[in-house]
Amino acid sequence: GGGPAGTAGTLALLLGEGSKRLPQAIIIGVKKGGTRALLEFLRVHPDVRAVGAEPHFFDRNYERGLAWYRELMPRTLEGQITMEKTPSYFVTKEAPARISSMARGTKLIVVVRDPVTRAISDYTQTLSKKPDIPTFESLTFKNRTTGLIDTSWSAIQIGIYAKHLENWLLYFPIGQILFVSGERLISDPAGELGRVQDFLGLKRIITDKHFYFNKTKGFPCLKKAEGSSKPHCLGKTKGRTHPDIDQEVVQRLRDFYRPFNMKFYQMTGQDFGWD
């Protein structure tokens, strides 16, 4: 029947055919950028098969070897794409060399988001797990009076995208990396998904017909999730309310990130409009 998504294909998968392949595309970043949303949206495509949990292979489990990694993958048919997402890869020093040595042609996707809101979101997530951590303000500054920002704090470090990207460009041509706007993924999910499908060489099957905007969550949701007829929004841990951060601190962070953002816009040839 009609290609991989046809009846014969479905039957083959039910019979346990198809084979596990190393991923041809990986969502490598960034934490709190919108990677889960992107993966869930992409899984609507009949030719995308993805690992649900984050494998953390190229950062934490590399000693286990490629055979272990491959075993985690879903079975695919000819013409289907195998994918995984682990947002910490983007900031892992060794990851580019490791992925490149698996397959130099691996397509990479980075979901980026305004580094200031990303940092606050990161902090908010930590706060939900450890309510007794210091305030955002006190973690942001090495020294509050001089206004020196603590770049060693991971919440701040991750958002220096230009710096991390330089590391990837030692191993991958820029054209092999797609940068998805976390903001546009929310305001225009179908538009961003169109770019992603083109990049992956997929037919543009996911369109605005697949989404509705959930006003309570402030998020686009899927009318039908993968393999279900029920509408599907991301889970309770997504779209948390951010704490109020002192406006002066936010402004200091905006100033801090501005030169790095400009550099990142130059490197990617994309203006993300964060300022």
Whether the ω angle into residue 30 lies within 30 degrees of 0, i.e. cis, is yes
Residue 141 lies in a domain: yes
Known binding residues for 3'-phosphoadenylyl sulfate are: 32-36, 113, 121, 238-242
Do 24 and 103 contact (CB within 8 A), yes or no?
yes
Let me know if residue 274 belongs to a domain. Answer: no
Any domain includes 139: yes
Which residues, 6+ apart, have CB-to-CB distance to 153 below 8 Å?
Answer: 139, 140
- Please tell me the predicted confidence (pLDDT) of residue 6: 63
- Residues with Cβ within 8 Å of 11's Cβ and at least 6 positions away in sequence, in order, are none
Q: What is the pLDDT of residue 250?
A: 97
Q: Is 29 helix (H, G, I), strand (E, B) or coil?
A: strand
* Pair 90, 209: CB distance under 8 Å: no
Residue 147's domain comprises: 20-268
Please report whether residue 15 resides in a domain: no
Kindly report the number of other CB atoms within 10 A of residue 236's CB atom: 8
DSSP 25: E
Domains: count for the chain: 1
Verify whether residue 129 is a known catalytic residue: no
Assigned domain for 7 exists = no
pLDDT of residue 5: 54
> What's the rounded Cα separation, in Å, for the pair 121 and 125?
6
CA–CA gap between residue 114 and residue 121 (Å, rounded) = 10
Cβ atoms of 102 and 70 closer than 8 Å:
no
Q: How far apart are the first and last CA of the chain?
A: 50
| pLDDT value of residue 240 | 83
Burial-class residue 57 by CB neighbours within 10 Å (0-12, 13-18, 19+). Answer: buried
- CATH, residue 121: 3.40.50.300
- DSSP line for 153-207: SHHHHTT-HHHHHHHHHTTS-GGGEEEEEHHHHHH-HHHHHHHHHHHTT------
Residue 61 maps to a domain: yes
- pLDDT tens digits in sequence order for the chain, 275 residues long: 445 556 777 777 777 789 999 999 999 999 999 999 999 999 999 999 999 999 999 999 999 999 999 999 999 999 999 999 999 999 999 999 999 999 999 999 999 999 999 999 999 999 999 999 999 999 999 988 898 999 999 999 999 999 999 999 999 999 999 999 999 999 999 999 999 999 999 999 999 999 999 888 888 999 977 777 788 888 777 778 899 999 999 999 999 999 999 999 999 999 999 98
Question: Residue 80: exposed, middle, or buried by beta-carbon count in 10 A (0-12, 13-18, 19+)?
Answer: buried
Q: What is this structure's pTM?
A: 0.93
Residue 81 — left, alpha, or beta (φ > 0 → left; ψ -120 to 50 → alpha)? beta
Tokens of 1: 């029947």
Does the residue 12 lie in any domain?
no
Looking at residue 153, what is its pLDDT? 98
Question: Which pair of structure tokens corresponds to residue 221?
Answer: 């949701």
Query: What is Dmax (Cα atoms) for the chain?
Result: 69
Catalytic residue among 20, 31, 32, 203: 32
Q: With respect to residue 5, please indicate whether it lies within any of the assigned structural domains.
A: no
